[in-house]
Amino acid sequence: MKKLILAALICTFSVSFAQEKKINFTKKLNYKITFKKTEKEVATADFKFQSYVGKNKEFLTTGNIRGQIVNFYTENNNTHLVNIGLNNRLTANNVYLLNGYKLFEDEVFEQKFAASKLNTSETILGIPCENFILKPIFVNNGEENNNETENLKACINEKHAINNMPVLSSIFNSLENFRKVDFNISGLILKMGPEKTYNEEHLVLESITDNNDYALIDSQKLIADTQKAKDSIIALTNEWKKLYSDSAVANVDSAAAIRDYDLIPEYKSTYKIEPKRDTVNLAIENESSEHFLKGIPKHCTNIDKEMPKFEMKDLDYHVKNYVGQMCDMYLTQSYAHSVAIKITLDEIRREALYLLHIREKLSDKDRKKLDKYLDSLD
């Protein structure tokens, strides 16, 4: 139970554009997780993560769970697993959803927490907060079961303008197969951990800073894509159960085909459309990607420093985008990557076409620099 609680806490605090909107973030919450040093499996892990807060109570939470990048977008108390693509465009991360789904889980629980306020308080980052005990209660077919569960202890400011308790509830709901997770309390979480080891093991808010980042999202499409993936997974689950109950092992391949077929979106040729942006947006530049660097070429970590100085305006931008997007594709070796694959492939195709068309217009000096640089990549 402890590992489940801590894993969930780690994450808590992340075409047609007719329906797309821009989310402007105003605050950034930086959290860290502290574990007991005796637990060797987690003692050396990087458990820092961020939650970006929008002016209309949207949250983009991005964290690292044992080297796996996970992003959550929360709006109207609903949370979705997302990829962060070019121009900070958010799309459904159905690959992570599929891998995290329990195919043979027959029991689907409802979970709620009974909150009781203690007579103690703390002050963190100059913000006062009161201590609560959150007792988990599992409900299965109308029957409550609170045996063998571990209480949480939390320090919460109930009056703060930022209320991220619904984010925690939604992320619990996304990570586990619960129908509903309800903490029955609101406010800003400043600290939380298992009650018995609260002082040694906890999530704690490190900083709150002003922020001017943004994200682009089509909420309706995100909901539709996520639901379509869930429906496909349920269909796959039922098919697997049927196959196993009938001992029809020979038909396993057909069940796998359902998964592959249903989750692949219909292809739309958009790669020649140049997105409006000022800078190259790469997943490898995300600090959370450092755990994946062993699986990518060495030049991917030093693109800016090794980039030649070209005479032609904007050539360095296109070369960096071409090389960087290919580097991002190496990150997809992990199923928990944050790369928007289709968008990345479109970028590579568009830049390859650009370099092909622009080649005859390059000066001899630029052409030699470009050839030498591309040939030097490991």
Integer-rounded Cα radius of gyration of the chain:
23
Pairing between strand 178-182 and 109-124?
Answer: parallel
**Among candidate residues 202, 228, 263, the one where a domain is terminated:** 263
Question: Going by C-beta distance under 8 Å and a sequence separation of 6 or more, which residues neighbour residue 194?
Answer: 2, 5, 6, 150, 151, 152, 153, 201
Q: What percent of the chain has pLDDT over 70?
A: 66
Higher pLDDT among residues 108 and 25, named by residue = 25
**223 and 206 both lie in a single domain:** no
What number is the average pLDDT over the span 144-157?
78
In a domain, 86, yes or no: yes
- Could you report the per-residue pLDDT of 225-267, keeping only the tens digit for each? 877 777 776 776 677 666 666 554 444 444 444 444 555 667 7
Count other Cβ atoms within 10 Å, centred on residue 260: 10
pLDDT value for 38: 53
Flag whether pLDDT at 307 surpasses 60.
Answer: yes
The rounded distance, in Å, linking the Cα atoms of 166 and 76 is 9
pLDDT value for 155: 94
Q: Which of 183-187, 323-327, 363-367 has the weakest average pLDDT?
A: 183-187
**Among candidate residues 210, 242, 271, the one where a domain is terminated:** 210
Flag whether pLDDT at 13 surpasses 60.
Answer: no
The number of distinct structural domains making up the chain is 3
What number is the average pLDDT over the span 32-51?
62
pLDDT value for 328: 86
CA distances from 358 to 231, 313, 344, 376 (A): 46, 12, 21, 21
Pairing between strand 188-194 and 152-157?
Answer: antiparallel
- Could you report the per-residue pLDDT of 60-71, keeping only the tens digit for each? 988 765 556 778
Flag whether pLDDT at 368 surpasses 60.
Answer: yes
Q: What number of helices (H) and strands (E) belong to the chain?
A: 10, 14
Pairing between strand 59-65 and 214-217?
Answer: unpaired
Q: Which of 47-56, 260-269, 302-311 has the weakest average pLDDT?
A: 260-269
In a domain, 89, yes or no: yes
In a domain, 278, yes or no: no
pLDDT value for 337: 66
In a domain, 277, yes or no: no
What number is the average pLDDT over the span 98-111?
51
What number is the average pLDDT over the span 336-352?
82
SS3 10: helix
CA distances from 35 to 26, 147, 273, 276, 341 (A): 30, 24, 47, 43, 34
**111 and 53 both lie in a single domain:** yes
Pairing between strand 143-145 and 178-182?
Answer: unpaired
In a domain, 132, yes or no: yes
**163 and 67 both lie in a single domain:** yes
Q: Is the dihedral of CA 87, 11, 181, 105 positive or negative?
A: positive
Flag whether pLDDT at 131 surpasses 80.
Answer: yes
**58 and 155 both lie in a single domain:** yes
In a domain, 273, yes or no: no
> Dihedrals φ, ψ of 24, to 5°?
-95, 120
Highest mean predicted confidence (pLDDT) among 34-43, 46-55, 109-118, 203-212: 203-212
Provide the mean pLDDT of the chain: 76
The rounded distance, in Å, linking the Cα atoms of 166 and 175 is 14
In a domain, 53, yes or no: yes
CA distances from 63 to 89, 148, 170, 234, 350 (A): 17, 28, 15, 27, 31
Of 341, 342, 345, give the one whose Cα is nearest residue 332. Answer: 341
**161 and 252 both lie in a single domain:** no
The rounded distance, in Å, linking the Cα atoms of 190 and 204 is 6
**237 and 172 both lie in a single domain:** no
For residue 338, name the pLDDT band (cuts at 50, 70, 90): low
The rounded distance, in Å, linking the Cα atoms of 207 and 228 is 37
> Dihedrals φ, ψ of 109, to 5°?
-100, 155
Flag whether pLDDT at 367 surpasses 90.
Answer: yes
**326 and 349 both lie in a single domain:** yes
**DSSP code at position 160:** -
**70 and 115 both lie in a single domain:** yes
SS3 50: strand
Q: Which of 12-16, 77-81, 118-122, 168-172 has the weakest average pLDDT?
A: 12-16
In a domain, 319, yes or no: yes
**191 and 299 both lie in a single domain:** no
**342 and 254 both lie in a single domain:** no
Give the residue numbers spanning the domain of 237: 219-263
- Could you report the per-residue pLDDT of 164-218, keeping only the tens digit for each? 888 877 666 655 544 556 677 889 999 988 899 898 888 899 999 999 999 998 8
**17 and 116 both lie in a single domain:** yes
pLDDT value for 207: 92
CA distances from 347 to 248, 270, 274, 320 (A): 43, 10, 9, 11
Q: What percent of the chain has pLDDT over 90?
A: 26
pTM score, whole prediction: 0.60
Question: Strands (DSSP E) along the chain, which ranges?
Answer: 21-34, 48-54, 59-65, 68-75, 78-84, 90-92, 109-124, 127-140, 143-145, 152-157, 178-182, 188-194, 202-210, 214-217
> Residues 281, 347: contact at Cβ < 8 Å?
no
The rounded distance, in Å, linking the Cα atoms of 188 and 359 is 55
**88 and 228 both lie in a single domain:** no
